Amino acid sequence: MGIVLSKRGGALPKLVLPFKFFLGGFVGSGKQFVPWIHEKDLADIVNYVIENRNITGAINCCSPHIVDMKEFCETIGKLNNRKCWMRVPEFILKVVLGEASMTVTKGQKAIPKKILEHGFKFQFESLEDALKIYCENVNGI
């Protein structure tokens, strides 16, 4: 499962927080892949699998639009009218996110091949569209 983009919590608010204080940046080299999924698409996948019992085995729950850490953070910065100007040391993210930081610091190239082959349609294929709703509410600082 990719990083779930949600207004209700998880990793996203912690990743956006530095941008609110003009300290936004990417982790490590910025070249590691960041699998992500909008919370609505995740819920839709769960419902789709329940309704389509012919889908068996593991499913990658992530967007088909693959981005690297640098693009992910630059998109957060763009939507918050902030620059993505610094590299964040991995140890800081480990302190903030704990074990969840592994996906962000090491990366994972996941493709939702099986669910796409079974005809699933994502609502949020673009990272910018998936982040817009969340980031619009962050600009108020």
| 0.85 surpassed by pTM | no
Tens of pLDDT, residue by residue over 42-76, are: 999 999 999 998 999 999 999 999 899 999 999 99
* Alpha helices for 1-141 (secondary structure H): 11-20, 39-51, 69-79, 90-97, 101-106, 113-117, 127-136
Q: Left (φ > 0), alpha (ψ -120 to 50) or beta: where does 42 sit?
A: alpha
pLDDT band at residue 139 under the 50/70/90 scheme:
very low
Query: In the structure encoding, which two tokens stand for residue 128, read together?
Result: 């910018």
Cα–Cα distance, 88 to 92 (Å, whole number): 7
According to CATH, the superfamily of the domain at 3-136 is NAD(P)-binding Rossmann-like Domain (3.40.50.720)
C-alpha span between 60 and 78 (Å, rounded): 28
CA nearest neighbour of 37 among 4, 85, 77, 81: 4
Q: Which pLDDT does position 136 carry in this prediction?
A: 61
Nearest-angstrom CA–CA distance, 86 and 24: 6
Q: For residue 123, give every residue at least 6 positions away whose Cβ sits within 8 Å of its Cβ, in sequence order, or none.
A: 38, 40, 41, 44
